[in-house]
Amino acid sequence: MLYYFFQYLDKTLDIPGTGVFQYITFRSGLAIILSLMISTIFGKRIINFLRKQQIGETVRELGLEGQKEKAGTPTMGGLIIIFSTLIPVFLLAKLDNVYVMLLIVTTLWMGTIGFIDDYIKIFKKDKEGLKGKFKVVGQVGLGIIVGSVLYFHPGVTVRTDTATSNIFQTPGTTTIAPTPTEEKSTATTIPFFKNNEFDYAELLAWTGDGYEKYAWLIFIPVVIFIITAVSNGANLTDGIDGLAAGTSAISVLTLGIFAFVSGNIIFSNYLNIMYIPNSGEMTVYIAAFVGSLIGFLWYNTYPASVFMGDTGSLTIGGIIAVLAIAVRKELLIPVLCGIFLAENLSVVVQVAYFKYTKKKYGEGRRIFLMSPLHHHYQKKGYHESKIVTRFWIVAILLAIFSLVSLKLR
């Protein structure tokens, strides 16, 4: 809203200084400051409200050190993340931008699913929360919405340099430069490869001419799978104080860099990456989101004063997935979100191996002392602060490795 107000002051009244709101970098800076202030200042009030309403975590007995002391700690702290992200976005972002609208829908959609799950656990005294099949239905529903919008919306395009009509002349030379053209495309980026664009539509090339118009049959299921996988990965990572919020902030900040350079024609041309018109506006949302995660960490670091609950973890995973898909970097997720992947795989491998050995030997055996992976290290005697810090370090290394993919091909 402030963006449109200052745009009016600049374009209509020509008031000096108001034009600064046209710059994404300025609004992103304001967004991260504002979200940090909201999450740290008002976060305490939300925590006190949750404590007053007796909205506390019910911890299952897992035989982990310090676990019993966490019982009763306020949960649903994901509300802090959601509010401190959306308020700066509504104030500072272009709300008619298709990418911003998708991110707002994702935040509210996944936040609602997570809230219902936490509500059932706390007020219905059901430790299982929302049934898994209903969570999946919600994730699939969001995937259909996101995939359909990104595929069919006319404002979602990429720019390729195919036509050659502009001629630039310098003394003694004549250079024919390509004319940039925007087009609908399901192209994405394969990291660490030269000429690394891959179009999902190519998977249907065997069907004959006109296969491009059926690319949504591939694209939308891929979007559904990514959103479901990443949101569940974030959910599993939220097991010890500060782990999910910290690793997510690192991943989101990295995606913010990708969004900024992909949405800037100068940087995208210099880096020789796909230019995605209007995607740079996501930087404002990302800045607000990073600020809210860091502000939440103020209260979530060990010993945590609040837990994010599924209200936060499912929302975080959904947002990261949509961001990666929007900037055409979803194939980089296994690297960038390597912590989420490891947590997910540890559970899948543990369950599969247990079932296999139980069927073969009559008793179930385990690969890890406990899954998800962070609990394995707790069982080995590591303090959770050490586990979290080391996971953060790994997340930073993965983020740097992901950024290197911009040039290392």
Which parts are annotated binding residues for Mg(2+)?
235, 310
Residue where the block lists tokens 């359909």: 148
What single-letter amino acid sits at 16?
P
Q: What is the 3-state secondary structure (H, E, C) of 169-234?
A: EECCEEEEEEEEEEECCCEEECCCCCCCEEEHHHHHHHHCCCHHHHCHHHHHHHHHHHHHHHHHHH
CA within 13 Å, CB half, 170 = 4
Cα distance between residue 295 and residue 32, in whole Å:
10
CA distances from residue 78 to 125, 251, 326, 380 in whole angstroms, order as listed: 20, 18, 23, 29
Cα distance between residue 150 and residue 155, in whole Å:
9
Range list of H helices, 301-365:
309-326, 333-336, 338-361
Cα distance between residue 24 and residue 288, in whole Å:
12
Q: Which of 320, 338, 329 is nearest to 142 (CA)?
A: 320
Is residue 14 exposed (0-12), middle (13-18) or buried (19+ Cβ within 10 Å)? exposed
- Burial letters for 185-195: b for 16+ Cβ neighbours within 10 Å, e otherwise? bbbbbebeeee
Is residue 157 exposed (0-12), middle (13-18) or buried (19+ Cβ within 10 Å)? middle
Compute the CA torsion angle 30, 49, 106, 125 (nearest 10 deg): 160
3-state helix, strand, coil in the chain (%, to 5): 65, 10, 25
- Cross-strand bridge partners of residue 161: 180
CA distances from residue 51 to 58, 129, 207, 307 in whole angstroms, order as listed: 13, 20, 59, 12
User: Where is the binding site, in residues?
Assistant: 235, 310
| Residues 317 and 110: beta-carbon distance below 8 Å | yes
